[in-house]
């Protein structure tokens, strides 16, 4: 659909394309099923890309360097952090994690949405820096028993690491009310549908579409011409 605004034509497709990308932040205690929801969103939603973090944590056997994380040394991490190359960073369970700045800014500028799997410390840093661009989702397990069983089923972390993750969860869960949305993952399909609905609704927010105003003004002008009304 095309309409005229003071000589410039703005199509509905352009109004959508000129939207600035949003930052969809998923946080949860370990074992809440966040990674599965993140993977499904990335597989099924177009125009959504993952922010691949850097970390000093050792790679798990199921992980691929450059896909799940960029696995780097502590020295390299500190260098990136000190040069301001990270949008946010945190120490989690004794390891460093951070979000490289450049790929995120590039994607947002192109109108792409970016998915972040980061902890609460990182989320708060994004709030400080770019709150209007952030949509935050906190995912909770249906029960502590289910959370423990997911961590054990995953069988990728040693028992002491699992215990540490459970301890961290206590502090993290207290912050549920600082997130825009909370999803209880008692049923994966339902939790996924909720996350997808949030993304789709947030994409349509008026303030994310700077071109929507000119598009509608153009339609109003067309309508005035049609009807002779002022």
Mark the segment that binds ligand 5GP (CB under 6 A) among 8-16, 76-84, 85-93, 174-182.
Answer: 85-93
**Strands 86-92 and 95-100, bridge-based pairing:** antiparallel
Distance in angstroms (rounded) separating the CA atoms of residues 47 and 20: 12
Closest to ligand 5GP by CB, 118 or 147: 118
Binds ligand 5GP by CB under 6 A, chosen from 119, 147, 194, 199: 119
Bridge partners (DSSP) of residue 90 are: 97
* Gyration radius of the chain over CA positions: 21
43 HSE (CA, 13 A, CB side):
7
215 is an interface residue for ligand 5GP by CB under 6 A:
no
Sites for ligand 5GP among residues 39-58 (CB under 6 A): 53, 57
Mark the segment that binds ligand 5GP (CB under 6 A) among 5-13, 38-46, 90-98, 183-191.
Answer: 90-98
CB of 44 to ligand 5GP, least distance (A): 21
Closest to ligand 5GP by CB, 113 or 119: 119
Quick one: which of 184, 89, 195 has its CA closest to 141? 184
CB of 87 to ligand 5GP, least distance (A): 8
Closest to ligand 5GP by CB, 107 or 212: 107
CA distances from 229 to 144, 217, 218, 220, 226 (A): 63, 14, 15, 10, 8
With CB atoms as reference, the residue minimizing the distance to ligand 5GP is: 122
- Tell me the CA end-to-end span of the chain in Å, nearest whole number: 23
Site of interaction with ligand 5GP (CB under 6 A): 30, 53, 57, 88, 90, 92, 97-99, 117-119, 121-122
């Amino acid at each position: 659909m095309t309409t005229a605004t003071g000589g410039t034509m703005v199509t509905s497709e352009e109004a959508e394309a000129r939207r600035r990308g949003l930052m969809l932040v998923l946080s949860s205690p370990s074992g809440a099923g966040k990674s599965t929801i993140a993977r499904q969103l990335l597989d099924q939603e177009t125009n959504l890309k993952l922010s691949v973090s850097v970390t000093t944590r050792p790679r798990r056997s199921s992980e691929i360097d450059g896909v799940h994380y960029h696995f780097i040394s502590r020295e390299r991490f500190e260098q990136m952090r000190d040069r301001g190359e990270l949008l946010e960073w945190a120490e989690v369970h004794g390891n460093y994690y951070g979000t490289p700045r450049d790929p995120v800014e590039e994607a947002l500028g192109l109108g792409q949405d970016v998915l972040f799997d980061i902890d609460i410390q990182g989320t708060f840093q994004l709030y400080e820096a770019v709150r209007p661009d952030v949509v935050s989702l906190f995912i909770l397990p249906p029960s502590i028993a289910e959370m423990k069983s997911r961590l054990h089923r995953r069988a990728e972390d040693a028992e002491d690491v699992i215990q540490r993750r459970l301890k961290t969860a206590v502090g993290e869960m207290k912050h549920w009310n600082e997130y825009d949305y909370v999803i209880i993952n008692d049923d994966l399909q339902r939790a996924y549908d909720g996350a997808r609905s949030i993304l789709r609704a947030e994409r349509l927010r008026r303030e994310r579409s700077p071109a929507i105003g000119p598009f509608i003004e153009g339609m109003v002008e067309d309508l005035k011409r049609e009807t002779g009304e002022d």
